[in-house]
Amino acid sequence: MNKPFVRQVLPILLAIGLLWYVLKDVPLAELAFQFKQANYRWLSVVLLFTGFYYLTRAARWNLTLQALGYQPSLFRSTIAILAGSLASMLIPGAGELTRCGTLQRTDGVPLAKGIGSVVAERVIDLLMLVVLICLTALLESARMVNYLTGLLTPITSRLPHTKSSGILMVGLLVGLAGCSGLLYWLWKREYLQRYAFVGRIIRIGRDVQVGFLSIRQLQQPLLFVVLTVMGNTLSFIIAYVLFFTSVQTLSLPPSAALTVVTVSSLGGLAVPTQGGLGTYHFLVSRVLMLYGMPETKAVVAATFMHAVQTAFSLLFSSVGVLILPMIIRRQISANQTIR
């Protein structure tokens, strides 16, 4: 079977399966009522913070690109991120490639170096996720234990409780380490570069490495940290303000918003689907149930929260994609004028 086809279709099937599982017992009337009674003044606040979130991401990306010697404007970087956001809603993982390809066309940033800078950002984001996990565990330890127990019990109860499982895990880790060592050894063999294809792959890999290492050459490292923290803070604020848009979630504490952000971020890594479709509904509804919400109301609230965030992301991304051709045409005209 065609592997690219499987990679594209599997997330869709997974999203549909999760959505069906979560929504199968929820009356459509309750979903409709949730949207009808929403507080649209608070929704406008969510829209505003969503815009700030994209600007913050673009400003942080610019810092890593400046370390590579490129000076894209905040506007063009924002448009590139918006184009990537739309792509990731269609195909999981396509957002990074799309935004780097966009900036290559508008500012001449080599694709591989752009990807390397994004990889560097992702490493920092993973570290921030670890901080979020620790903070959530500290503030909501009892609820997190109950949450994980509820999720894992159906799985662990079916696993054989024998030493063979541990041996298998150790074997997988050793195999992974061995493969990594082999790849590194091949990377250092100069004679392999005599082959054109291998040499091209190595050059691309080194460009990615240069982009990744740009994190060490930041001209404003403190600002990078501030923007990273600000981006995560905005994610928390968006989740918390969403609670005020509905009577069902109005009484939830700020710690619930933190748990929602942490769990949904983990879910996006573990089970990537288009825009978190299905994954978000399943995981976040279980979080809301920990705070005393009945299952049906929790599913309705999670569906509403996801729909709002997706709609606002689509709104900003669509505007970005509409503006992008004008930026590209202007850049082409400028290049022709210089020549």
Does residue 204 sit in helix, strand or coil? helix
Task: Kindly list the distances between the CA atom of residue 208 and the CA atoms of 85, 117, 205, 240, 285, in Å, as whole numbers in the listed order.
Answer: 21, 8, 5, 37, 38
Q: Is the pLDDT of residue 153 over 50?
A: yes
184 in any annotated domain: no
Q: Is the pLDDT of residue 35 over 70?
A: yes
Q: Please report the pLDDT score of residue 259 as a whole number.
A: 93
148 in any annotated domain: yes
Q: Is the pLDDT of residue 27 over 90?
A: no
> What's the rounded mean pLDDT across residues 53-76?
92
Q: What is the pLDDT of residues 173-192, one digit of tens each?
A: 666 667 666 656 555 555 55
Q: Is the pLDDT of residue 168 over 50?
A: no
- 123, 309 Cβ separation under 8 angstroms: no
- Read off the pTM: 0.78
Q: Which range of residues forms the domain containing residue 278?
A: 14-156+197-338
141 or 180, which is more confident? 141
Q: What are phi and psi of 41, to 5 degrees?
A: -70, -45
177 or 304, which is more confident? 304
Give the residue carrying structure tokens 């997974």. 14
- Which residues are within 8 A (CB) of 118 and not within 5 positions of it... i.e. 6 or more apart? 61, 96, 99, 100, 211
Q: Please report the pLDDT score of residue 24 as a whole number.
A: 77
85 or 332, which is more confident? 85
Q: Please report the pLDDT score of residue 184 as a whole number.
A: 60
Q: Is the pLDDT of residue 74 over 90?
A: yes
- Above pLDDT 70, what percent of the chain? 74
| Residue-wise burial string across 1-22, b where 16 or more C-beta atoms lie within 10 A, e elsewhere | eeeeeeeeeebbebbeebbeeb
261 or 162, which is more confident? 261
Q: What are phi and psi of 224, to 5 degrees?
A: -60, -45
202 or 300, which is more confident? 300
285 or 3, which is more confident? 285
pLDDT band for position 143 (cuts 50, 70, 90):
confident
Q: Is the pLDDT of residue 16 over 90?
A: no
179 in any annotated domain: no
Q: Is the pLDDT of residue 134 over 80?
A: yes
Q: Please report the pLDDT score of residue 160 as a whole number.
A: 52
Q: What is the pLDDT of residues 214-255, one digit of tens each?
A: 667 788 889 999 999 999 999 999 999 999 999 889 999 999
> What's the rounded mean pLDDT across residues 275-295?
88
151 in any annotated domain: yes
**Number of CB atoms found within 10 A of residue 113's CB:** 25
178 in any annotated domain: no
Amino acid identity for residue 211 in this structure: G
209 in any annotated domain: yes
Q: Which of 36-45, 147-156, 230-239, 310-319 has the lowest mean pLDDT?
A: 147-156
> What's the rounded mean pLDDT across residues 36-40?
90
Q: What is the pLDDT of residues 81-118, one digit of tens each?
A: 999 998 888 877 788 889 999 999 888 888 888 888 88
Q: Please report the pLDDT score of residue 210 as a whole number.
A: 57
Give the residue carrying structure tokens 């291998």. 198
188 in any annotated domain: no
Q: Is the pLDDT of residue 120 over 70?
A: yes
> What's the rounded mean pLDDT across residues 129-149?
79
Q: Is the pLDDT of residue 335 over 90?
A: no
Show the tokens assigned to 118: 């994004």
166 in any annotated domain: no
Report how many domains make up the chain: 1
